[in-house]
Structure 1
Amino acid sequence: MGTVSPQDTWTYALRVPHDPRAARVARMTVRSVLESHGRPEILDAVELLTSELVTNTYLHTGGPASLRLTALKDGRLRVGVWDSSPRVPAPFAGPPWDRAPLAPLDAGGGRGLGLVQEYADCWGGWSLSEGTLADRRAGKLLWFEVGG
């Protein structure tokens, strides 16, 4: 006996190589999936925030990453990005009032996590490591939700 998911729920997963083109591949995937499911109202925000998280995996880790898009029953979309680093940055590391520091106006980067704070309805993250050297390779998962 198989199970059937309601038509308004679905999941897509993508392994993302450690490559400077990874964010572009992630954006193209998000655009294709959301257009095929008729979700243009969240496309810009999801594309931007996904690109920011995938860019961070390339800039701050040495390994591959994974992207997962999940449509939830209430109309929200959850986007999760896994990478090989166990370090969970603010604002994902703490309570909702834990804010990413603002980047200086003349900085060339450092605004991505602030964008997540502004455009996502909610977000979170956790380290998948237990503290041993072998466990540190388990990495972390950061996620955000929009829509609904």
Structure 2
Amino acid sequence: MIGVLDTQDDSAEWTFPADPGAVRTARAVVRGQLRTWGLDELGDVAALLVSELVTNSLRHAAGPIGVRMVRNDGSAPRLLVEVSDPLPDPPRRREAAHDDEDGRGLQLVAHSSRRWGTRPANSGKTVWFELAVPG
């Protein structure tokens, strides 16, 4: 992990090198932050989806990978998770064949999150997903 850039009451941000170990570390820091916020029940799904997006960044982009989490306790409590990388091209959602070993990450993100999307960033792109916080 390159370092924690920001850990405020309602947000946390990390940057990881483009290294295969980043996936495991990203899962761990996401679970740890959710535990700190008292949102352990989101740990499994958030860690899985972060793992998929960080893996996509490793496969398709060179350079550091950012992970940012924002907790919103408003009238509709939610958790926003963003994964950023230096590749400007948005990810392509594809239909994986039954026997394909990859190609299901974005399908999983779309199916398991409340909402998801992608947007251009200053240098690259950000893929994000949102989870409802159980009440």
TM-score tier by shorter-chain length is 0.7 to 0.9
RMSD: 1.3
Name the % identity: 38
One of 99, 108, 124 as aligned partner of 1:115: 108
What is the CA distance between 1:85 and its match in structure 2?
A: 0.3
Which of 80, 87, 90 is equivalent to 2:89?
A: 87
1:128 Cα shift? 2.6
What SS class does the counterpart of residue 54 from structure 1 fall into? helix
* Counterpart mapping for 1:1-148 below 5 A: 10-74=10-74, 75-90=77-92, 100-128=93-121, 138-148=123-133
Q: Secondary structure of the residue that 1:124 maps to in structure 2?
A: strand
Q: Which moved more, 1:53-62 or 1:37-46?
A: 37-46
Moved beyond 4 Å, runs of 4+ = none
TM-score normalised by structure 1 residue count = 0.78
Instruction: Compute the TM-score of the two structures, normalised by the length of structure 2.
Output: 0.86
Cα distance in 2, alignment partners of residues 42 and 88 from structure 1: 26
User: For each residue in 1:8-67, what CA deviation from the matched residue of structure 2 results, as whole angstroms up to 9, or x when unmatched?
Assistant: x51110001010111101000011111121112211110100110011111101111110
| Partner in structure 2 of residue 96 of structure 1 | none
**Structure of larger gyration radius:** 1
The structure carrying a bigger strand percent of its residues is 2
Q: Tell me how far apart the structure 2 counterparts of residues 24 and 41 of structure 1 sit (CA, whole Å).
A: 19
Alpha-carbon distance in structure 2 between the residues aligned to 1:69 and 1:121: 15
Q: Write the distance in 1 (CA, Å) between the matches of 2:96 and 2:64.
A: 26
Structure 1, unaligned runs of 5 or more: 1-8, 91-99, 130-137
Q: Give the number of equivalent residue pairs.
A: 123
